[in-house]
Amino acid sequence: MRERCRRAVVRSDERLEEAHQDAESLFDAMQNARLVASAENYYRTMYRSSGDSWNLRDTHMFETLERLLDSRGPDSKAIVWAHNSHIGDAAATEMGRVRDEPNLGQLCRERFGDGAALVGLGTHTGAVAAADRPGMADGSTRQ
């Protein structure tokens, strides 16, 4: 089934390119096709309880960012608003050094060097609903 799905996405990509749609519509359609293929792989991996689902998700986010920047030309810039666990530089943590789990921030730092500014966000007051680790039920509240 997975191979059949992959082939269908590739065929769809090829047909879209041949259709010579305007650049924006073609870009959107290609991104949607990539999203379908990536989501299938991500959920299949997550279902098997594999730690690889983290790598697939953050790699997908990074590749999406690269495609968006490429589609806008060489002087394009972007601001990505993401959770600290995704935007921090994993290479500076156990996550990247020990568990080999790169994140969006690390991939941006490697690709864009000093052109990437990684900013972590926090809260001063209030509460955040979050789970301590993947697979745990939501709802634990941190002050």
For residue range 33-67, list pLDDT tens digits in order. Answer: 888 888 888 888 888 876 788 888 899 999 999 99
Mean of the per-residue pLDDT values for the chain?
Answer: 83
pLDDT value of position 136: 67
pLDDT value of position 73: 92
CA angle 25, 2, 9 (to 5 degrees): 15
Residue 23 has pLDDT above 70, yes or no: yes
Residue 8 has pLDDT above 90, yes or no: no
pLDDT value of position 39: 87
